[in-house]
Amino acid sequence: MLAGAGAILALVLGLIALAFTRTGPGTERVWIAGMGLAFPLTVLAALLAYGLFVGERLLPRQGADVVSVQAEGRQWAWSFAYDDAPGVVTEDVLHIPAGRPVDVAITTVDVIHSFWVPRLAGKLDAIPGHVNVLRIEADQPGRYRGASAEFSGEGYADHEFEVIAHDAAGWDQFLRGGTR
C-alpha cells in the first residue's frame, strides 16, 4: 500500500509540475481534455472492471462442488448446520472443506450481528428474519479466526468463532461424524 500510495503521489506531483510549466495559448483545453478527464476516467473504468470481476467470483451459485452451511447468530454464540451432514450442528466452530466454495446462509435470532472471517471474505450482516448468503473459500487447510464485527450489545467484542478448513480426507471424516 505504501508503494502504491507513493506511486500515486509521484504521478500527481508530476502532473501538477507539468501544469505549471506549460504556457501558451490553448494549453488549458489540452489539460482538461487529456489529463483532466481521460486519465481519471481510464483509472475509474479499470477499477470498475476489477471490482466486477472480483464481485462475480464471490456471488453465491449452486453447483456440484458448492458446500452449503447455515449460520445462526445469537448473543454470544454462532451455530452452524451443514447440508451435507444432516443433524450435525457445531457451536462457534465452522468446518469447511479447503479448496471448495462454501455458501454460508447467515441469519440471527435476536439482534443484528455480522459474520466476518477477514482472511476468507468480507463482512455480511445477520439480520433477524432475513437470510443473507456469503460465499467463502479457503485456499488451503488451516484455522481462521472469525468475528462478529457489529455492535450488538455489551460483550460484542468477545463474540468470536473459528473456521477450520479441512483437507479432503479431514472433510470426509467430519461428514461421517469424526470431528465435531
Domain CATH number, residue 80: 2.60.40.420
- Split into its structural domains, the chain has a count of 2
Q: Is the pLDDT assigned to residue 180 strictly greater than 70?
A: no
pLDDT for 67-94, tens place per residue? 999 999 988 889 999 998 988 999 999 9
135 contacts 102 by C-beta, under 8 angstroms: yes
Which backbone phi and psi does 83 adopt, to 5 degrees? -65, -35
Average pLDDT over residues 127-146: 94
Q: How confident is the model at residue 56 (pLDDT cuts 50, 70, 90)?
A: confident
Confidence at residue 17, expressed as pLDDT on a 0 to 100 scale: 81
Residue 180 lies in a domain: no
Whole-prediction pTM value? 0.68
Question: In whole angstroms, what is the distance from residue 131 CA to residue 147 CA?
Answer: 18
| Residue at which a domain ends, from 58, 80, 97 | 58
On whether both 20 and 91 belong to a single domain, the answer is: no
Tell me whether strands 93-97 and 160-166 are parallel, antiparallel or unpaired.
parallel
- Which domain does 131 fall in, by range? 67-175
On whether both 54 and 73 belong to a single domain, the answer is: no
On whether both 100 and 52 belong to a single domain, the answer is: no
Average pLDDT over residues 131-143: 93
